[in-house]
Amino acid sequence: MTRILVTGSTDGLGRATAAALLDQGHRVIVHARSADRAAAVSSLTDRGADLVIADLTDRRAVRDVADELNGGAEVDAVIHNAGVISGSGILPVNVVSPYLLTALLRTPTRHVYLSSGMHRGGSTDLTELDWDGSRTTASYSDSKLFVTALSAAVARRWAPRVAADSVDPGWVPTKMGGAGAPDDFDLGHETQERLATEPRLDVTGGYWYHGERRTPHPAVDDTSFQERLLAALADATGVELPAR
């Protein structure tokens, strides 16, 4: 069995991912933004899932969760699912929190990052960004380009010991995607489950859509852009991505 953290697991794809992993016999850590939101995963914790609570816009809370998990049973994989589509939390939730969890958690050997086809419309301009989230200085597309490049950077720096991949779940009918979204909801979460758990799946550095590798925005695999992004995140957070 694999022990897997799924961030943003109170609804939508995150909740479906966590439930499916439990069905498959894995040990799951679900995440809620607040104690009030934790009620939404009570049926999962009743089935044995562990729970962590953290507002991912708060870096201290993200650090505390990392400390909590580092002090317990090993976490084998992380599915960085949590995300927001608008507002000042775009960079803190969609980019900074997965960066910090990646840098601070000591044991995972697989990281899966939720991307989006909208990452292709993102900007590579890293200047004048408010990583703290006190102002809205980036679009959803920007954030998904950044986190997809982060995934590629982690794969490059930490291979072969740690695998990292990003997944476009498609435009699926969730609270974020809307009830009329045309893509298949189950296909929207199956790829990240496979990447996090399949023991013989020897892949890393991919950008995936519904079980198939796709070609991302050219900046994703641009080492210079990756390094500039990592430097910006290290400067903003005071935490550098460690060597592995």
Catalytic residue of the set 113, 144, 207, 209? 144
Catalytic residue check, 175 = no
Instruction: Read off the pLDDT of residues 72-81 as tens digits, 9 standing for 90 and up.
Output: 999 999 999 9
What percentage of the chain exceeds 70 in pLDDT? 98
Does residue 172 surpass a pLDDT of 90? no
Residue 242 DSSP code? P
Report CA torsion sign: 197, 201, 204, 207: negative
Element (H, E) at 191: helix 187-197
Catalytic residue check, 140 = yes
Does residue 202 surpass a pLDDT of 90? no
Mean pLDDT of 22-32: 98
Catalytic residue of the set 99, 113, 140, 207? 140
CA 118 from chain centre, in angstroms, equals 16
Q: Which of 62-66, 97-101, 181-185, 195-199 has the lowest mean pLDDT?
A: 181-185
Question: Which residue reads 């460690």 in tokens?
Answer: 242
What percentage of the chain exceeds 90 in pLDDT? 89
Determine contact, residues 43/30, Cβ cutoff 8 Å.
Answer: no
SS3 99: helix
Does residue 20 surpass a pLDDT of 90? yes
Mean pLDDT of 205-228: 97
- Find residue 113's DSSP bridge partners: 80, 166
Question: What is residue 184's predicted lDDT score, i.e. its pLDDT?
Answer: 82
3-237 carries CATH number 3.40.50.720: yes
Q: Which of 21-35, 170-184, 203-217, 228-242 has the lowest mean pLDDT?
A: 170-184
Question: What is residue 108's predicted lDDT score, i.e. its pLDDT?
Answer: 97
For 112, counting Cβ atoms within 10 Å of its Cβ (0-12 exposed, 13-18 middle, 19+ buried), the class is buried
181 vs 228, residue with greater confidence: 228
Mean pLDDT of 192-218: 93
In this structure, are strands 207-209 and 212-214 parallel, antiparallel, or unpaired? antiparallel
Question: What is residue 125's predicted lDDT score, i.e. its pLDDT?
Answer: 98
**Rounded Cα distance, 150 and 143, in Å:** 10
